[in-house]
Amino acid sequence: MEWALLLDPFATVSLPVAEWANDGMRWLTSNYRGAFQAIKAPVKWALDLVEDGLRGTPQTVLLVIATLFAWQIVNRATALLTFCGLIVIGIIGAWDAAMTSLAVLVTAVAISTAAGIPLGILCSRVDAVWMAVRPVLDFMQTIPSFTYLVPVILLFGIGNVPGVIVTAFFATPPLVRLTNLGLREVRTDLV
């Protein structure tokens, strides 16, 4: 019997971490359902607004805007690649799915910008806030993005809203860091 314990020491000892996590999520969703729905509603409204705008715009107009944007920001080769890529997306019938993905991205960028820039400004002004926020940002950037997805789906349900929230969570830490760094590196008489 003692030899069996030496070969498999974890046979008699285990922590029920999965049960604790499940119980915690059950408690969180049952007690704070209203709070999560209150967060979900404006995100869904913004997402629907952007998605309706993209889907309501004629495909030709979006094709021309995207091509001109790529040409002005990068170069002609990128503009040609953008044009050809969007043509292929339209031909294979994935235009609506692409507009949904673009709406998720645009909404997440808006949310992360609205949260990240003010927090970065605050971090650059108050060292105590930066010292408190920095470990959280370190943790958020070391966790893979799909790790955020499971609890967010459990809290907000299935759909595009969890995708927006996870993308915003993933995009916010670099924005906070770079805003903080940029403001700290600029001379105070210029700010």
**Residue 189 falls inside a structural domain:** no
Q: What is the pLDDT of residue 62?
A: 94
In a domain, 20, yes or no: no
For the entire predicted model, the pTM comes to: 0.80
CA distance 180 to 118: 10
Q: How confident is the model at residue 6 (pLDDT cuts 50, 70, 90)?
A: low
Range of the domain at 113: 29-184
Burial of 51 (0-12, 13-18, 19+ CB in 10 A): buried
Instruction: Determine, yes or no, domain membership for 22.
Output: no
In a domain, 109, yes or no: yes
In a domain, 191, yes or no: no
Q: Is residue 162 part of a domain?
A: yes
- Count of structural domains, the chain: 1
pLDDT at position 68 is 96
Residue-wise pLDDT tens digits, 29-53: 888 888 888 989 999 999 999 999 9
pLDDT in tens, 123-171: 999 999 999 999 999 998 898 878 888 888 888 888 899 999 999 999 9
Asked if residue 159 is part of any domain, the answer here is: yes
